[in-house]
Amino acid sequence: MSQPSDRYLVISSDCHAGLPGAKYRDWVDPEYREMFDVAFPMQQSEVERLTRKFMPDEFKAAWRRDTGDGWHGAWDSAERNRQLDGDGIAGEVIFPDGVNDGNLPPFGAGLTLPPEVPSDLIWAGAKAHNRWIAGFCQEEPKRRAGMAVIPMAHDPVRAVEEIRWARANGLRGVFIGPLWGKHEPYHSPVYEPVWSVCEELDMPINIHGGAAPTEDYGDHPGNIGIFITEVAWWSTRPAWFLIWSGVFERHPKLKFVITELGASWVPELKALMDQRFEANHFTAKLAPYRTELTMKPSEYFDRNIWVGASVTSRVDVEMRHKIGVDRMMWGSDFPHPEGAWPYTRKFMAESFHDIPDADVRQMLGLTAAKVYGFDVEALAPLVARIGPRAEDLSLPAAERHVAAAR
C-alpha cells in the first residue's frame, strides 16, 4: 500500500453531477429534441415549484452565499476538482441530480418513476445523461466513477444493452430507483439478464435514497415528516426482495449498494431476516419459502451488499462492528446542502476522531476502492497532496460538525 501514512485516501461513495437542465438538449438523441423543447419548460417549472415548496428561499440563499459558485462543480470539471481538493476527496462515485434543484436529466429519466412519462422518453433522458456523465468522467478517469442511470423497470432488455454501453464507455456502476406499484418487482425473472450482465461486467448496482410513494400522502403539512421517516425504508426494500428470491444465490459476485440512508438499520434488518429464516414456532405453519437459499439472509448481505453511509454519523461509526466495518462507505453528497461539503473535515472529525486508524481508512476509502474498482496506486500522488491528515480528524470538539444520526 503506497498511501502516505499521514494522509487518508478518501473516496466519496456519494456525489452528484448533472448539467443545468437546458444544456442536456444537445445530449438527447435528435429524434427526441422536439419533445425535449416541449417537456423541458414544464419539467423546469415543476422542479422550481417543488423546490420552493420543500426548500425555503432563505435557506437556499444563505447556503449559496456560504458556498459561492462551488456548486457549479455539478457540471464544471475544473470547479469540481477545486471543491473536491478542498474537501480532501481523491475519488468519487457520481450519481445524477447535481444540485438538488433544476438539473434532473431530461424527462426525469425514471429517477422517481413518474408513472405518466412514456418509457421511450424516460430512456431517452437516461441515455442523454449517461452520454454526458461518461464524457465528464473521462476527463478525470482516476478520480471519477460515474453511475449509469438505468430505468430498467421500463425495459429490462434495453437495460442490458445500456449497461454494456456504459461499461464500454468507462462508467463503473448502475443506478436504479426503488420500486413499488405497477412495474415488475425486482425479484421478477424479467430482470435476471440485468443481474447477469452486472455480475459479468462487475458493475455494482446502486439504490440511492430519495424516493418514496408520496402519491400515497395526499397534501398535508406533515408530509415532509412522514417522508423523512420512511424514505430510507423504501430504498432498502429491494434488498430483501433480492435476498429471499435467491438473486444473490444465483449471482454470487453481484454487488448491491444502498446509499445515503445511514447504516444504523443494518443490524436490525439482518437479525430480522435471520429470525424469519430459522425454523421456529412463528414460521412453522408456513409453506416452504427458503428453497432459493443455501445460506442465511445475513450471509448474503455480508457478501453482496454494501452501504453508502453518506456523511457517516457518529452513531453509525459506533455501530460499525455490528454493521460491518468493510460494508460502510463514507460519502460527502457533494454538492447537496444536506451533505458534508464544504465542511468535510469537520464532519469527519466528529465521527472518526478517536476511531482506530485501520477502521477509518476502510470506511473513508478502501472499501469504496474495492467495490467500484478505483486504482489506489494511481490516486496516491493526489492523496499525498490533498488527503486529510490524522490531525485534521482530531479537531477539538467545538470545531466539529455533527451529522444527522440515522
Pair 204, 371: CB distance under 8 Å: yes
Distance of CA 25 to the CA centre of its chain: 25
401 in helix, strand or coil? Answer: coil
| Closer CB to its own copies, 4 or 267, in the complex | 267
Q: Kindly write down the DSSP assignment for every residue of 277-338, as one continuous string.
A: HS--TTTTTSPP--TT-SS-HHHHHHHHEEEEEET--HHHHHTHHHH-TTTEEEE--TT-TT
In the bound state with its own copies, the residue whose beta carbon lies nearer, of 175 and 277, is 277
Residue 59 CA to residue 51 CA, distance in Å, equals: 11
At which residue does the C-alpha cell 476502492 appear?
369
Smallest gap from Cβ 221 to its own copies, in A, equals 6
Helix (H, G, I), strand (E, B) or coil at 15: strand
User: Minimum Å distance from CB 87 to its own copies?
Assistant: 15
Residue among 65 and 281 whose Cβ is closer to its own copies: 281
**How many Cβ atoms sit within 10 Å of the Cβ of residue 132?**
22
Nearer CB in complex with its own copies: 114/217:
217
Q: What does the alpha-carbon distance between residue 340 and residue 334 come to, in Å, rounded to a whole number?
A: 7
Q: Shortest Cβ distance from residue 401 to its own copies (Å)?
A: 7
Beta-carbon contacts of residue 141 (< 8 Å; ≥ 6 apart): 170
Q: Give the nearer residue to its own copies in terms of CB position, either 42 or 279.
A: 279
Tell the smallest beta-carbon distance from residue 188 to its own copies (Å): 5
**Coil vs helix vs strand at 13:** strand
Could you list the residues that contact its own copies (CB under 8 A)? 53-56, 59-60, 63, 180-181, 184-185, 187-188, 213, 216-218, 220-226, 228-230, 233, 237, 240-241, 243-246, 264-265, 268, 271-273, 275-277, 280-292, 297, 311, 337-338, 401-406
CB of 109: closest distance to its own copies in angstroms? 23
- CB 255 to its own copies: min, Å: 20
Nearer to its own copies by C-beta: 273 or 305?
273
Pairing state between β 305-310 and 91-95: unpaired
User: Is the CB of 243 or the CB of 309 nearer to its own copies?
Assistant: 243
Q: How far is the CB of 311 from its own copies (least distance, A)?
A: 8
